[in-house]
Structure formats: C-alpha cells, structure tokens
Amino acid sequence: FFKILLHSMSDADYQRRWQPGVETDARDGGAPSDTTEEQIATEEACQRCIDEICDPELRREAASLLTREHRTYCASGLWRLSAGYASLDASRPWLCYWIVHSLSILGTRIDAAAADAVINFIGRCRDPDCGGFCGGPYPGQMAHLAPTYAAVNTLVTIGTPAAFELIKGAKLGSFLRAMRREDGAFTMHHDGEVDVRGAYCAIAVATLSGEVEATGPWEDTANWILGCQTYEGGVGATPGEEAHGGYTFCGLAALSLLGAAHRLRLPPLVRWLVGRQMAHAGGFQGRTNKLVDSCYSFWQGGAFPLVQSLLQSRGELAPGGAIYNAPALLDYLIVCAQVAQGGLRDKPGKGRDYYHTCYALSGLAVAASASELPGVPEGWVNGVRLINPIFNVVNDKVEAALEHFRAAE
C-alpha cells in the first residue's frame, strides 16, 4: 500500500505540472466550471512566475530565497502595521507570533527593545482573573485558546527570563481546565465554539508550559479527536465534518503529543495527505478540489514528518524516507510565493501578508529538513533554522522552554 503512495506524485507527473490546463481538463472531462477556470488561471499564473524567474525549464539556480527582504518586511511589522490589519484587532498575539516566528526561522533574533515591547504587549493581553491570553489588551477582550497558543509560542520564541515568567504567571492550568468539556473536547473560549483547534491549542500550551499533568487526564480528549477523522482520511473540525488541512494538522499534532497518533486510521490519512499536493505547482491545497495556497505548505506539509515518524516506527518506511515531494514544495515557495520586496503570498496574483509569510516559511523549514533534496540549490535551505513541527517553533527554543519548565516543577 505505502509503495503505491510513494509514487502518488512521480517525477514524471511533477515535470508535467507546467502544462496549464492539462490536469484539469482530464479530471473534469473538458466541461468548464468556475472551479476549473480558477484552477487553470492559477496554473497559468504559476507558469508566468516560472517563465519570468527560471525560464520554462525550471532552472532553480536562477531563483533564491530572499532572506534579507523577508527580514526587513517582518521587522517593520513589529512596530507599525498598515490599516488593512485593523480587521485582526482580535488576533494581535497572532500577529506577534507570525512576525517573531518568521524572523526566528530566518535566523534573526529581535533586539532587546523589540523583545521587551512584545513581552509587555502580550502581558497586557493576559486575563488576570480567568487566566490565559486574549486577542487584544484586557479588559476589552476575553481569554481565548487561539491567542493563548500564539502568545505562548511567541514568548517561547523570545525565550528570555521575562518571557518565561509571563507564561508562568498566566494561570494557564486553570484556564485550560475551564475550557475543557466532559467529553474531552475544548471550547475556544467561555461559551465558545468547539473544534479540533481547541484541543490542539490546549495540549500544545499545556506541554510547553509544564501544565500537562495539572490539565489532564487526556484519554477522553484523544478519543474525541479520533472521532473527527473522516471517511476521506483527513480530520475535520468536529465529528462528521469535511477533512481540512488545518484541522488535520491540529488533530495529528495533538494526538502525537498524547502518544495516541498510532490510533488514527493511517492508510487513508496518508492517502488524503499526499493527494493534497498539487501536481501542477508543487504546493498544497487545504481541501479536496481547492486551489493551491502557501499556508498549507505548513498545515499539510508539517503533518508529513509526524506521519513519516509513525511509519518508520512501524517498519513501513525506511529511515530518511519520504512520502511527499519536498523539492516540488520548495519550487512553489521560492518561485511562486515570494514577493520581491519581501514577504510571501498565498499564490501569484495575491498580496503578501504576515500570516502567509509565517506559514510559508514554516513549510519551507519543514521541507528543508528532508533527508534528500535532489536538484535543490543549497541557498534555498541553508539560511533556514530547524523547527519542531508539532509546535511550529524553532527546535532549540522548544527544548529550552521544556527544560526551563521541567526545572521549575
């Protein structure tokens, strides 16, 4: 079975990806629709990127990772954002995380003044009564698992004593227990929605902050997440919903932290994941019959190291083996997703933003860690730091946080 999956995106398929419309027409029998027209337009936009940067033969050495430009773009966002970001007023710890994490992947440590400013701002987002962190300064917003995850990841990335002290003082254990339901699922906030994101954010935060034992037991949570795996093989937001890349990553990463990922139905999960890599561009789509999007370079791409580890532990994949095409993903990110002035975008024709910059670079970091990258220039991957895909934080920052909070127990 897995030998078949390893050939799901063969070299021949990949070399044919720059023939716009071929794959779509074959799949839909030539019958036009809004979906196929958008697909063809996206393929043609990717083709133009190839023609402009690398010529139709895809000469990879003609392209480069724009490290300096990305650093400049990200660093500027720490102090000032454009008016378009006003819609993210309830996601301000996320903006901190996207920017700080992007810089960390690129090997840039923010200076002491910027670190202190970020820590002080996140401290203003802490709910002193319920615990956890809000999407913006408190009072005014309520504690929420998603910005709590973003805040903790940001503080772990900064990694100073002041950052760790803020995590320690955030009453995370009591907040996580309050969000937990009897069936093991987690609400995102008081009287809020329930989905796999909540379980993942809770488990990741509890692990990084040393609150796992205080927040458990976790058996019901693992069972609830397992119930979210769909007939397709991926994971939906809740039991019975469509499989989605973000929820699949959250479910898989959460179960990995709980030591229960082996309980997933692995063959359909692998089949669904490998099917999301687009043959025409090398990037990933988030759901079946959707367009390529650079953020899924991590939400889908970040799942592969976890799945590959499971397969290797079962003797079904050789050490160093891979079940997706990492060079193809790097092609999409370097050639099609980068913006010349810095930052990365969803796809050609879209604008840059900090969300896509963060998750595109995160996917690039995952792909860069592949054991074999035939034909990929060293400059595409040498400047990128290793991340821990379960938390999506640079690996040595995760190790430092885990060690700090173990010592504090």
Per DSSP, 234 falls in state: S
Q: Given 92, 287, 345, 347, which residue is catalytic?
A: 287
Catalytic residue among 177, 271, 290, 385: 290
- Residue 194, beta-bridge partner list: 187
346 tagged catalytic: yes
Q: Within 13 Å of residue 305, how many CA atoms lie on the same side as its CB?
A: 23
Instruction: Please report where in the chains the tokens 């205080």 appear, as a residue.
Output: 214
Catalytic residue among 296, 324, 332, 355: 296
Name the nearest CA neighbour of 257 among 226, 223, 220, 218.
218
Q: Among residues 127, 195, 331, 353, which one is catalytic?
A: 353
Can you list the pairs that 33-42 forms with residues at least 24 positions away whose Cβ atoms lie under 8 Å? 35/289, 38/291, 39/291, 42/281, 42/291, 42/292, 42/347, 42/348
220 in catalytic set: no
DSSP letters, 306-328, are HHHHHHHHTTSS-TT--SS-HHH
Asked if 118 contacts 173 with a C-beta cutoff of 8 angstroms, the reply is no
Indicate if 111 belongs to the active site: no
H/E element, 387: strand 387-388
d(CA 74, CA 275): 32
Bridge partners, residue 235, by sequence: 229
CA distances from 166 to 125, 155, 160, 401 (A): 11, 8, 10, 13
For residue 246, give the nearest of 284, 194, 274, 191 by alpha carbon: 284
| Nearest-angstrom CA–CA distance, 343 and 366 | 18
Which of 127, 195, 331, 346 is catalytic? The answer is: 346
- Indicate if 397 belongs to the active site: no
What b-and-e string marks burial along 316-345, b requiring 16 or more CB atoms within 10 Å of the CB? bbeeeebbbbbbbbbbbbbbbbbbeebbbb
**Catalytic: 46?**
no
Single out the catalytic residue among 134, 197, 250, 293: 293
Distance CA 250, CA 236 (A): 10
Tell me which of 125, 295, 336, 358 is the catalytic residue: 295
Token pair of 7 as six digits = 């050939």
* Active-site position among 17, 171, 280, 356: 356
List 186's β-bridge partners, or say none: 180
What tokens were used for 45? Answer: 């936009």
Q: What type of residue sits at position 207?
A: T
Which active-site residues does the annotation give?
Answer: 244, 287, 290, 293, 295-296, 346, 353, 356
